[in-house]
Structure formats: C-alpha cells, structure tokens
A and B are shown apart, each in its own frame.
Chain A
Amino acid sequence: NAGVMQNPRHLVRRRGQEARLRCSPMKGHSHVYWYRQLPEEGLKFMVYLQKENIIDESGMPKERFSAEFPKEGPSILRIQQVVRGDSAAYFCASSPYLASGDTDTQYFGPGTRLTVL
C-alpha cells in the first residue's frame, strides 16, 4: 500500500504564475490536510478537506489560495499569482474515517518544495 503521494516534489514558478500542488491520500483515507512549512519552522495547518467538502480552511490565506478534494482524483492546492513569500514546503497528510474514540493519526507525504523566483 503506497503512502501519501505528492507531486511534483519540486516546483519553480516566477512571480505572478500559478502553482498547482497535488496530493493522493493513502488508500482508504477520506480526510486530507494541507500544511505549510517555512525554513527552520514547524508546520502550519492550512486546510482540512473530505471528498467534495472543505471542512476547515482557517489556516488558508484569504486570497490567492484555494484547495479542493474532488470525488475522483487527487486533492489540489492551488496558489494563484505566486509571490516570493509563498516559497515553502507544502505537506499533505491523510487519515482514515474514524469511529468515535479512535486515534486520529495523520500520515504525511514527502512534500512539494515551491520556489518562487
């Protein structure tokens, strides 16, 4: 069973371009989370999605950022009109549907390193 997959692993964009980051959760997982990590810092929560639903986007910047998790296919984190400050590692995590009382362990992908020139 493959783990969480993210692509591309490295992405270079010029200012003003769009960045699309893809995440395929582990098989059987219906919850997807996106985190951002700046150099020498811990991960910061961005958004939590289930299939076709955004559950919590409290960590997402109000503009230029959007996320989706369609019924079919990977989850997409989209950054429009990228700026240098968007340069970071973006990690996706997934977890299975849980019954009450189960432990929620998130499994992380290898990340996408975005560099904005």
Chain B
Amino acid sequence: LAKTTQPISMDSYEGQEVNITCSHNNIATNDYITWYQQFPSQGPRFIIQGYKTKVTNEVASLFIPADRKSSTLSLPRVSLSDTAVYYCLVGDRNPGFQKLVFGTGTRLLVSP
C-alpha cells in the first residue's frame, strides 16, 4: 500500500478556503485517493474519493495532478464545525474489500 504524507496540523479562520495536500509518491496504477474526516469521539466520515483530475461534491473538492503523486483536499469557506482530523488514504479499489490504512492525519483548527 502506498504511503501517504500530510501536514500534522493546520490553522485557519472562519470563511477561508483550506487546502490540505497529501503526498503519495508510490501510488500504484490501480490506487484511488480517499479522504476521511474525523471529529473527536466519533468514527471517520467519508468525504471524497478520486482517481485523477478534479472531483467535486457538496462538501469538498479533490485536485489530483497528472502524475498523481499528490492530491489536495479543498474545503471552501470553512466554519468552526470543520475543526477535525482529515485523513488521506491511498489504496487499490478491490471490489468488496479495501483494508483502509490510516496515517496520523492533519488536525485542522478553525478559529473565529
């Protein structure tokens, strides 16, 4: 499984756009990139998944350059409730099973 590297922590203010970048130099051809969000005392919550270029949903955008060695999770206009730990995961999308490998994540703190 490809190893991921992301910043340990980030600080932001309400209303700003936050970009969290994840490095995955050894990503394999069949690997997908998935981001999860975890609030204190809760289980992780799926945010977004992509393979290449750009993916957007109602929560976030995911930018993946052509070489796929990194990806950037973009959170538009963050609020206090976006304070959480964000995990970048890379793995083969084996139908029916994906052993998720979590790193230590990026701890985002949003201040007023």
Contacts and interface: CB of A to CB of B under 8 A. Distances in A.
Interface in B65-109: 87, 93-105
A105 B97 contact: no
Contacts, number: 66
Given A35-B100, A42-B104, A108 B44 contact: yes
A96 B37 CA distance: 20
A103 B50 CA distance: 10
Given A43-B102, A91-B44, A56 B97 contact: yes
Contact of B99 (A48, A99, A103): A48
B112 interface: no
A28 interface: no
Contacts of B93: 103-104
A111 interface: yes
A14 interface: no
Interface in A85-109: 91, 93, 95, 97-109
B57 interface: no
Interface residues of A, number: 34
A64 interface: no
Q: Chain B interface: which size bin? A: 20 to 34
Contacts of A33: 99-100
Contact of A45 (B32, B41, B101, B104): B101
Contacts of A104: 93-98
A95 B34 CA distance: 15
A90 B98 CA distance: 18
Nearest to A106: B100
Contact of A31 (B44, B97, B104): B97
Contact of B49 (A95, A100, A105): A105
B46 interface: yes
Contacts of A105: 46, 49
Interface in A34-71: 35, 40-45, 48, 55-56, 58-59
Interface of A: 4, 31, 33, 35, 40-45, 48, 55-56, 58-59, 91, 93, 95, 97-111, 113
